[in-house]
Amino acid sequence: MNRIAQLQRRTSESSIDLSINLDGTGRSEISTTVPFFDHLLTAFAKHSLVDLVVKASGDTHIDVHHTVEDTAIVLGQAIKQALGDKSKIARYGDSTVPLDDALARAVVDVSGRPYLVHTGEPAGFEFHLIGGHFTGSMIRHVFEAISYNAGITVHVTVLDGRDPHHIAEAEFKAFARAFRKAVELDARVEGIPSTKGAL
């Protein structure tokens, strides 16, 4: 079973080439022209143990929003394609991850139903510039784009934190670890892990 996908997306605002292997070792080659987003995607690959290659560019002279969100859309689509019929997966995963002052929890259900619950970021986080260009509000946009395009339910909760960089990174690492558990193949699972017989 090869759980891989390779996708492209071209719009007037961005150009995305992305490939993913759900059964990788955490290797990544990330270049989005948005350095902090590169950092977050690298952390996602490392801690989810997916192999991820991303080459993206866009109208970052206007804002990083289009390039970041479009990359997350393609990542979600690639996850959905790589999962196939979702047979033999664990389906659920959860993880709580600290990063110095920050503490984040993520729970993932590969449900076929896109839904995001994202809470706990401190007041003003959405306005903070991380790395001088990446606003905190983009974190929610990324999780929305991934969950809606992958067809997964995602809960991300910030439990504590002061430094915006640490908060954002803890969120991504918690999501990565929960995602890793959810998409992991389980030898004891027969077929689709749902009483409906489909996800």
Q: Using CA atoms, how far apart are residues 134 and 127, in angstroms rounded to an integer?
A: 9
Q: Is a pLDDT exceeding 90 seen at residue 197? A: no
Give the DSSP per-residue string, 30-77: EE-S-HHHHHHHHHHHHHHT-EEEEEEEE-TTT-SHHHHHHHHHHHHH
Question: How do residues 82-117 score in pLDDT, each as one tens digit?
Answer: 999 999 999 999 999 999 999 999 999 999 999 999
pTM of the model: 0.97
Question: How do residues 122-171 score in pLDDT, each as one tens digit?
Answer: 999 999 999 888 999 999 999 999 999 999 999 999 999 999 999 999 99
Tell me the domains of the chain and their CATH numbers.
4-183 (3.30.230.40)
Question: How do residues 67-87 score in pLDDT, each as one tens digit?
Answer: 999 999 999 999 999 999 999
